[in-house]
Amino acid sequence: MPSPSSICIFCGARAGVLPAYSQAAKETGEMIANMGWRLVYGAGDIGLMGEVARAAQAAGAKTLGVMPKHLMRQEIAKRDLGQLILTETMHERKKVMFMNCDAIVVLPGGGGSLDEFFEVLTWRQLGLHTKPIILLDVAGYWQPLVALLDHVIAHGFADGSMRGFVQVVPDVAALTVALQEGLQEGLK
């Protein structure tokens, strides 16, 4: 049997203030399972990370978590994942997550999620990969980030093409379609 497509989820180690964030995280986990895809994520059992993983697992998805050893207590490593890879550094974590996925989805999150987003975006800009990068814009959470990207382009610090490397979707139904199309594109 061919191995399932792997979806890397970057998201908050906190739950955020709106219930809609946790709801979207749960729906994302369930959707990954229902589509027969594998969840790749930061292995935490807290915040939105925990919500996505618990929902994906409960619905039967394969899971791969990647965490640096030094964060295991702080982010409460989820020990019942299909696979848990422990790394020495944050950089290794990002690399292992990236290498093991076919598409990247960013749910609401903080500085860590932004760091992860900008790394895959800049790698895409440099032509190092063509994996889809999708922002799940729950309750308009990512609008300031989209405005920032537009601002960077408008002021001549990036080509307009940068905007095309990021898809913005409002809900999990639209995310599912964007992933299906993006994964199909990657197979060509």
User: Which residues are near ligand AMP by CB under 6 A?
Assistant: 12-14, 42, 44, 71, 75, 90, 94, 109-113, 115-116
Q: How far apart are CA 181 and CA 110, in angstroms?
A: 28
Contact 143, 176 (CB under 8 A): no
Nearest alpha-carbon partner for 134 in 163, 168, 172: 168
Kindly tell me which of 95 and 163 has the beta carbon lying closer to ligand AMP: 95
Nearest approach, Cβ of residue 65 and ligand AMP (Å): 10
- Which residue number has the CB closest to ligand AMP? 112
Nearest approach, Cβ of residue 180 and ligand AMP (Å): 26
Kindly tell me which of 111 and 160 has the beta carbon lying closer to ligand AMP: 111
For residue 179, what are the contacts with CB-CB under 8 A and spacing of at least 6? Answer: 7, 35, 37, 103, 105, 132, 134
Two structure tokens written together for 63: 């899971």
Kindly tell me which of 18 and 154 has the beta carbon lying closer to ligand AMP: 18
Kindly tell me which of 77 and 183 has the beta carbon lying closer to ligand AMP: 77
Nearest approach, Cβ of residue 187 and ligand AMP (Å): 29
Which residue reads 């939105």 in tokens? 48
